[in-house]
Amino acid sequence: MSYYLPMTASLPPEMSPIALVTTTVGTADDARRLARAVLEQRLAACVQVQAVASHYRWQGALHEEAEWRLECKTTPQAVAALLALLRHQHPYELPELVVQPLQASQAYAQWVAQEVAQTVAPQAAPG
């Protein structure tokens, strides 16, 4: 399944696609734990963690909470595996999982691709 949505605006040819996957958690410890898991599994090249104030409606009530937002820069091909990891390890009953297609400089996109593991099917031994 592809999560990459092409941009409609015309961009300079030196731009290349990457993806941004965003989630939030309730503690700095959870943010660090998820960021580390994502990077250790090589599902993103970079995870930025920012403190945010979230205002939302949950189970019929208004809430205002401190949260930590994780922004994971990855390849379009790694989005499905990254979402699976986040769903599995996320502490929330209903985690925010948002995927955005981005266009980055070729050099930055190449760095992202180098840092994100590529799943390659094993080759059969010649016989």
Distances (CA, A) of 80 to 75, 84, 85: 10, 6, 9
Do strands 98-105 and 15-25 pair parallel, antiparallel, or not at all (unpaired)?
antiparallel
19-45 confidence digits (pLDDT tens): 999 999 999 999 999 999 999 999 999
Q: Please tell me the predicted confidence (pLDDT) of residue 7.
A: 55
Q: Please tell me the predicted confidence (pLDDT) of residue 121.
A: 38
- Structural domains in the chain, sorted by start: 23-115 (3.30.70.120)
Which residues, 6+ apart, have CB-to-CB distance to 101 below 8 Å? 4, 5, 6, 7, 17, 19, 20, 76
68-119 confidence digits (pLDDT tens): 999 999 999 999 999 999 999 999 999 999 999 999 999 999 999 999 986 5
Q: Is the pLDDT of residue 126 over 80?
A: no
